[in-house]
Amino acid sequence: MKKCATNWKDYECIDAGNGEKLERWKDIILRRPDPQAVWNADTKSSQWQNTHAIYHRSNKGGGQWDYKKDLPETWTIDYKELTFKVSPTGFKHTGLFPEQAVNWDWMQEAIRNANREIRVLNLFAYTGGATMACSSAGATEVIHVDASKGMVQWAKENMQLCHLENNTIRFIVDDVLKFVQREKRRGHTYHGILMDPPSYGRGPNGEMWKLEDQITELVEACLEILDDEPLFFLVNSYTTGFSSTVLENILTTTVLKKHPHGRVEAGEVGLPIKRDNLTLPCGIYGRWIND
């Protein structure tokens, strides 16, 4: 099943192809590499040339921004009632994955319709797009866990921008698996759990993470702290070659097995491309929802 983030006003994927994408972030036009955009596009056109900045990959790994026009170091964009800080980083990202808005909408609807206390755990939480969405929708408590101090600080800035500083949001810098295991020992449970694990990564103390080796272990550990009356369980992935069917199978053999009253669905998330009405694939999702 394909889910496309169509409700943006401050963000737009203008065009994509030839291994790149052309995006509007409010009033700023950025051109970035995208390995999925392998079809043809007229990247020589004036539209593609009229950008504020272009990210060039290096043959040695990484890359750098080539600034064509003056632009602020940071700025903000809005999604419905939410406001986020955007900034071009040295590793091509901007601090926000706009395609994830389809999951924000889905979780917000579930929380608003629950009519009960909902505690949410957000793992590999990055700059907190999902954290702010869940808190804004009325989650009683959101726990935001990421191994990067810099990303957690960015998330705190987003909390301020969203005017959610009086809501109950806890920010934790930790290895996610160790945190989940400690939560089990503490007897804490959550009605909603979501995660966006990287392909590879390191915890704050050098803990190694490799998606295909550890994703099932993490999901099973999270199942131990999922409340007896759960609302949702969501897994996102951007790992190349990792199928949404794998996520569907993992959730079916873990969460659905323990909570058969719900259902599992999986598929792609994407962004609408303004030119030619194509869709830019941006990753996969698997989710269990309480029916």
Average pLDDT over residues 96-124: 98
Residue 144, token pair as written in the block: 């935001």
Rounded to whole angstroms, the Cα distance separating 200 from 178 reads 16
Nearest to 79 by CA among 52, 102, 62: 102
Q: What is the pLDDT of residue 242?
A: 85
Residues of the chain with CATH 3.40.50.150: 98-289
| Domain spanning 8-72, CATH architecture | Sandwich (2.60)
Q: What is the pLDDT of residue 177?
A: 92
Three-state DSSP class for 248?
helix
Rounded to whole angstroms, the Cα distance separating 164 from 155 reads 11
Q: What is the pLDDT of residue 209?
A: 60
Q: What is the pLDDT of residues 228-270, one digit of tens each?
A: 999 999 999 998 888 999 999 999 999 999 999 999 999 999 9
Average pLDDT over residues 106-130: 97
Report pTM: 0.94
Helix 211-223 vs helix 244-253: angle between axes, to the nearest 10 degrees?
30
The answer regarding whether domain 98-289 maps to CATH 1.10.287.1080 reads no
Q: What is the pLDDT of residues 22-69, one digit of tens each?
A: 999 999 999 999 999 999 999 999 999 999 999 998 877 788 999 999
- The residues that bridge with 122 in the sheet, in sequence order, are 144, 194
Q: What is the pLDDT of residues 166-205, one digit of tens each?
A: 999 999 999 999 999 999 999 999 999 999 987 766 667 7
Rounded to whole angstroms, the Cα distance separating 146 from 126 reads 6
Residues of the chain with CATH 2.60.40.1180: 8-72
Given a cut of 70, whether residue 83 has pLDDT beyond it is yes
Three-state DSSP class for 286?
strand
